[in-house]
Amino acid sequence: MTDSTSPVRVAVTGAAGRMGRMLVAAVAGRSECRLTAALERPGASVIGMDAGVLAGCDPAGVTVGDDAAEAFAAVDVVVDFTTPEASCAHAAAAAKAGCAIVIGTTGLAPEQHGQLDVAARHVPVVWAPNYSVGVNLTLRLLAQAAAVLGDDADVEIVEMHHRHKVDAPSGTALRMGEVLAATLGRDLDVVAEHGRWGRTGERGRDRIGFHALRGGDVVGDHTVVFAAEGERIEITHRASDRMTFAAGAVRAAVWAAGRVPGRYDMDDVLGLR
Reported as a single tens digit per residue, the pLDDT across 178-215 is 999 999 999 999 999 999 999 999 999 999 999 999 99
pTM: 0.82
Residue 162 CA neighbour count, 13 Å, CB half? 10
pLDDT computed for residue 3 by the predictor: 57
Q: Catalytic residue, from 113, 164, 165, 211: name it.
A: 165
Q: Are 82 and 13 in contact (CB under 8 A)?
A: yes
Main-chain phi, psi angles of 39, to 5 degrees: -125, 150
pLDDT computed for residue 242 by the predictor: 86
Q: Is 161 a catalytic residue?
A: yes
Per-residue model confidence as pLDDT tens digits over 107-127 = 899 999 999 999 999 999 999
β-pairing, 124-127 vs 262-264, is parallel
Low-confidence stretches of the chain (pLDDT < 70) are 1-4
List the one residue out of 234, 187, 224 whose CA is nearest residue 207. Answer: 187
Q: How far is CA 169 from the centre of its chain?
A: 14
Q: Catalytic residue, from 90, 161, 211, 237: name it.
A: 161
C-beta atoms surrounding 211 within 10 Å: 18
What kind and span of H or E run contains 37? strand 33-39
